[in-house]
Amino acid sequence: MVFKKFLPNEYVKDIFCIKPEKLKEKGIKGIITDLDNTLVEWDRPEATPEVIDWLSTMKEAEILVTIVSNNHAERVEAFCKPLGIPFVSRARKPLNSPFIRALDMMEVKKEEVVVIGDQLLTDILGGNRKGLHTILVVPVASSDALITRFNRMFERRIMAGFKRRGLITWEE
């Protein structure tokens, strides 16, 4: 079934449910994460203290984090540079190339990485196409940029199909 490419390996409420101890148990050494509506609201320019703490716990656990975002370079760099986090901007997810670039930047194997994101059509599809472990999070903000609103329409249909087929057990 072609829709399986949209099915995340895991689903959590937010990034704070993702603990470094659990990742280490699975042999995870790196995280590829989306930025907008995954870490912070799409219109928030900087990291919140909670996100900074979460990133610090990953760093202390020696888990590398790279942000892969479809947003423009100025937006992504303004967020990442103060935190010292490597990034890929204008990524064009779900293409393979930004995921390959992030893996190369972190110097990790695909089995040692998780992809975290809030969208099935970009983050989850892209991670799954590359054979990476994918974790879907609930979007941080209830509002979206225009293109994302369009994507969410399709995502709701895909999720409903997963539910009908018994492929997901969580509640939206």
Residue 127 in contact with residue 25, Cβ under 8 Å? no
Residue 89 in contact with residue 102, Cβ under 8 Å? no
Is residue 152 included in any domain, yes or no?
Answer: yes
Q: Which residues contact 15 (CB under 8 A, 6 or more apart)?
A: 33, 38, 39, 51, 54, 116, 137
How do residues 114-127 score in pLDDT, each as one tens digit?
999 999 999 999 99
Residue 141 in contact with residue 147, Cβ under 8 Å? no
Is residue 84 included in any domain, yes or no?
Answer: yes
Is residue 171 included in any domain, yes or no?
Answer: no
Domain assignment of residue 90, given as a range: 2-164
Q: Which CATH number does the domain housing residue 96 bear?
A: 3.40.50.1000
pLDDT at 160: 80
pLDDT at 7: 92
Is residue 170 included in any domain, yes or no?
Answer: no
Calpha distance 73→86 (Å, rounded)? 12
The stretch 19-27 carries a mean pLDDT of 97
Q: In the chain, how many domains are there? A: 1
pTM for the model stands at 0.89
How do residues 25-35 score in pLDDT, each as one tens digit?
999 999 999 99
Does the structure show a pLDDT above 90 at 23?
yes
Is residue 169 included in any domain, yes or no?
Answer: no
Is residue 11 included in any domain, yes or no?
Answer: yes
Is residue 172 included in any domain, yes or no?
Answer: no
Question: Could you tell me which residues are beta bridge partners of residue 11?
Answer: 136
